[in-house]
Chain A
Amino acid sequence: MGRKCLDYVNDLNDYLDGELDPSLCDEIEKHIGHCENCRIMVDTMKQTVTLCREGKPEKLPASLEDKLSGMLKARWEKKFGK
């Protein structure tokens, strides 16, 4: 008896992250070729990560940027001296 869907789901992160043994990748790809729910699971798990990365803030707010350097410098001088 072959693997069941739940077994595949357990391997999906490694598969999607490119960390799964190639022979198991082939097995998953064969499985999702005929199992619609697993195909949807793979597509939507992949999109989950892609969508979350899209909203990633790259910069600090200006107000924080302005005060951070001075704050760290003051703490540094308190610890190490000028």
Chain B
Amino acid sequence: MNERELVTKAQAGDFQAFATLVNASKGRIYALALKMTANEQDAEDIVQETFLKAIDNIEQFRGESSFGTWLYSIALNQARAHLAKQKQTDLKPIEDYLPTKSADDLHRPDTHRLFDWKDPHQQLEDQELKEIIDTAVAELPVTYREVFLLRYYEELSIKEIAKLIKESVASTKSRVLRARLALRDAISKALEDRYGTQVS
């Protein structure tokens, strides 16, 4: 039975059909919630709240997106509510993530060389590397974190994300790029510190 058929049955009151839809998406919703909040209890709450809200509002799903994407929109709102107390950061210009803010050519002689990580697995234990990545993701501003995770964790298209966050495609595209640059920058700084410590 395909997703559309399962949704139709669930909307008619078939719990088994709904349970099948839940089983197909609960792992992904949990992964998103855990990365968004960096807190297991919050992530569990978000998963529960997401599916309970899905039950409450299932008749409102009109099939304009996949059922999974609809669930993401609920989960995202729940995660945002959990993160509402976190400080919101203004989006930075792309230049802020480059070696120099004044030059627009990275290869100019007066530009600092970017730190080249090579392969971090060769330098660090898996657990240490995981902690670096988790910290970098957790410290991303929420506006960056959500689009990065939706794009590269949940593998949604830019169009799907734009619809979820109610932004234009161009603005979403720009936000995803900045998110990736910001995360790259944070990981780079952490690895540079760690590699430096190891050498000394």
Contacts and interface: CB of A to CB of B under 8 A. Distances in A.
Interface of A: 4-6, 9-10, 12-14, 34-38, 40-41, 43-45, 47-49, 51-61, 63-64, 68-69, 71-73, 75-77, 79-81
Contact of B104 (A6, A55, A64, A80): A6
Contact of B173 (A6, A9, A13, A54): A13
A61 B40 contact: yes
A37 B111 CA distance: 9
Contact of B133 (A13, A51, A68, A79): A51
B51 A68 contact: yes
A21 B137 CA distance: 30
A5 B180 contact: no
Interface string B22-47: 10001100110011000010001001
B164 interface: no
Main SS at interface, chain A: helix
Interface string B174-188: 001100110110011
A43 B120 CA distance: 12
B103 to A, nearest CB: 8
24 contacts: A5-B98, A5-B106, A6-B95, A9-B94, A9-B106, A9-B181, A10-B94, A36-B113, A41-B114, A43-B117, A47-B117, A51-B120, A51-B129, A55-B130, A55-B134, A64-B30, A68-B47, A68-B51, A72-B22, A72-B51, A76-B18, A76-B55, A79-B56, A81-B13
A49 B52 CA distance: 31
Interface residues of B, number: 51
B165 interface: no
Contacts, number: 130
Interface string B87-99: 0000000110011
Interface in B101-127: 104-107, 111, 113-117, 120
A52 B59 CA distance: 35
A47 B187 CA distance: 10
A67 B152 CA distance: 29
Nearest to A63: B44
A40 B55 CA distance: 47
B195 interface: no
Given A5-B104, A10-B177, A76-B55, A43 B116 contact: yes
Q: Looking at B15, B52, B117, B129, which has the most chain A CB atoms within 10 Å of its CB?
A: B15
Given A73-B15, A79-B56, A45 B180 contact: yes
B83 interface: no
